Amino acid sequence: MTKVEQRMASSSPLPRVAEPAPPHRAPVAVPDIVHPVAAAGDQALHEPHDADRAFHAMLAQLTGGLSPTALAMAWLDWAAHLASAPAKRLDTTRDAVQRSRQLATYAVAAASSKDQPAPLIAPLPQDRRFAGPDWQLPPFNLMAQAFLLSEQWWHNATTGVRGVAPANEAIVEFSMRQPLDVLAPSNFAATNPDVLRKTIETGGENFVRGWQNFCSDWSHALAGEKSTENQSFVVGKTVATAAGKVVFRNRLIELIQYQPTTAKVHPEPILIVPAWIMKYYILDLSPHNSLVKFLTDAGFTVFMISWRNPGSADRDISLEDYRRLGVDAAVATIADILPDRGIHALGYCLGGTLLSIAAAAMARDGDTRLKSITLLAAQTDFTEAGELSLFINESQVAFLEDMMWQRGVLDTTQMAGAFQILRSNDLIWSKIVHDYLMDERAPPSDLMAWNADATRLPYRMHSEYLRQPFLHNDLAEGRYLVDGRPISLSDIHTPMFVVGTVRDHVAPWKSAYKIHFLVDADVTYLLTSGGHNAGIVAPPDQPSHSYQVLLKPADGSYIGPDEWLKTAPHHDGSWWPEWTTWLTARSGALCDPPPMGGGGADARSLPDAPGDYVRQP
């Protein structure tokens, strides 16, 4: 057993925090007969019954994991306040009448003139459903305009009702948008001019091949296999190919050390903490877009955590276990391999939240092994967590807990379904139209193959994460406990490099930006083009990327995100070289590469990269 394993094995479990003592009161007379429920304690009254949990778990199969109670409460809040707002109702009625008149006038002008009239309404910039030139021709332009006017009317009707809780308003607006997206004229062959044109050009073969695509996808889904287009991406062969070796393993992680590709390296290693909601190799995709390869080619020693895919037997693994057996174990292992060296730590998405927790705990305890901290699309304050927060309220969390309680984990289909609903136009309906109606499958992509390689989440960990950092915002507000004592992000004085992405639906960039007033450190904030994944995977040879970056010293004045957006200078290209320049400025002189692993029989028996955990189904 290695020194790190001995250290981890000897660590005592997290002690339970005792309930606070009740305030002192004068003694009172106690009757001879005590009610049996009272004798059992109040805690028993609050424990959910197994029958209730089982019913909720069964109900979740019908609702896709969404709490019907949460939806009903949101709609009741909206309907009750709308009922007591006659002026709002009158305005929405007038708006409907006005839009109907405008649409009728537009229809007459489109039918009576060779030149098509100017559109009444334009789709949002990210809405590409009606972008083709054929959508400007009658009658398709009329159908598109009618749909967009209806969509805007429903948005106005479900928002701006005085007195409705903002969270409930967002749920109502979002849930109303879903059936509207289903009924969009772009989703049906008879009302989509692009599909009709494709049908004429191919003589209907697009439907035959589209049906074959559907049957192929369905059969692979039933068998639990990768879809046909993703089968060409194989872990260890075409993706996750950077050379290296697993140098440490416990029941939760494998730690990979990558082979150096330069004769000299920077003395400080980089530790990458990826999210465990997906496999780690998004940062080591194909060789041309691997962040690991980019870093090793730049002379850095790189370590990466690969999380084990938990099963139902791992239901009681806690968020504290992920910190202790994940980040802490990795830091301890690196310290054994490279003693007395500072570590550049990077956390991506949920891994960034965990790294922030670990860094705050280390700072509280006087541990100075982290030389810099980089957060990629990661949140530490969850008060404005974007559309993902639609699924996080007390009712929804309780519903998810009961669903996970039965299985012991949050299944991969539940996680994938939540993200697909957030971007249903791009990930559901657009795919159906192009794959099954037009036979125009998108070319195979390593990023999409990784996206389909989902993982499960343990019951206890996911419940703790949803309730503590997310729902109650304990981390940002100083209530999160590590080893039974609260931690504060303000204890972090280590220089930070924080990356947000412009179109992030998981960790909105303004939410990630809040790190500025949570830590007492120099913060270099960078905002890059793209979304949560494509914005982070931004190799320098892709010319479509751009970014803004600005340093805020620890003693500098805070500026809000809108002002920052106007102030921060723009740069074309990938943000990766900007980050490595920042790292180099905080690294020592080049030296010989370190040894691979810490030696010993246990280390030699471990596999080469990408290891075993990443291959677990």
Burial class (CB in 10 A: 0-12, 13-18, 19+), 470: buried
Q: In sequence order, which residues have a C-beta less than 8 Å from that of residue 429 and are 6 or more positions away?
A: 129, 181, 182, 184, 186, 187
Alpha-carbon span 200 to 192, nearest angstrom: 13
| Single-letter code of the amino acid located at 349 | C
Catalytic residue (one of 240, 278, 349, 614): 349
- Residues 350 and 374 sit within 8 Å (Cβ to Cβ): no
The three-class DSSP label of residue 597 is coil
Rounded alpha-carbon distances, angstroms, from residue 320 to 358, 361, 399: 10, 11, 23
Is 349 one of the catalytic residues? yes
Question: Which strands sit side by side in the sheet containing 546-552, from one edge to the other?
Answer: 244-249, 253-258, 302-307, 270-273, 343-348, 370-376, 496-503, 523-531, 546-552, 570-572
The number of helices, as runs of H, and strands, as runs of E, in the chain is 24, 14
Give SS3 for 257: strand
Task: Answer yes or no: are the C-beta atoms of 405 and 458 closer than 8 Å.
Answer: no
CB–CB of 503/531 below 8 Å? Answer: yes
Axis-axis angle for helices 205-223, 193-202 (nearest 10): 110
Q: What is the DSSP string of 552-567?
A: E-TTSPP--HHHHHHH
Q: How far apart are CA 440 and CA 598, in angstroms?
A: 51
- Angle, helices 68-83 vs 394-407, to 10°: value is 170
Residue type, 315: R
Of 241, 215, 244, residue with least CA distance to 227: 215
Taking a C-beta distance cutoff of 8 angstroms, is the pair 67, 398 a contact?
yes
Q: Where are the alpha helices (DSSP H) in 159-290?
A: 166-182, 193-202, 205-223
Helix axes 394-407, 50-63, angle to 10 degrees: 100
Which regions of 423-531 does DSSP assign to beta strands (E)? Answer: 457-458, 481-482, 485-486, 496-503, 523-531
* Of the candidates 530, 533, 378, the residue with the CA atom closest to the CA atom of residue 449: 533
The strand pair at 546-552 and 523-531 is best described as: antiparallel
Give, in order, the Cα–Cα distances in Å from 386 to each of 389, 398, 505.
6, 20, 6
Q: Is 18 exposed, middle or buried (0-12, 13-18, 19+ CB in 10 A)?
A: exposed
**Alpha-carbon torsion 198, 202, 204, 205, what sign?**
negative
List, by residue number, the catalytic residues: 349
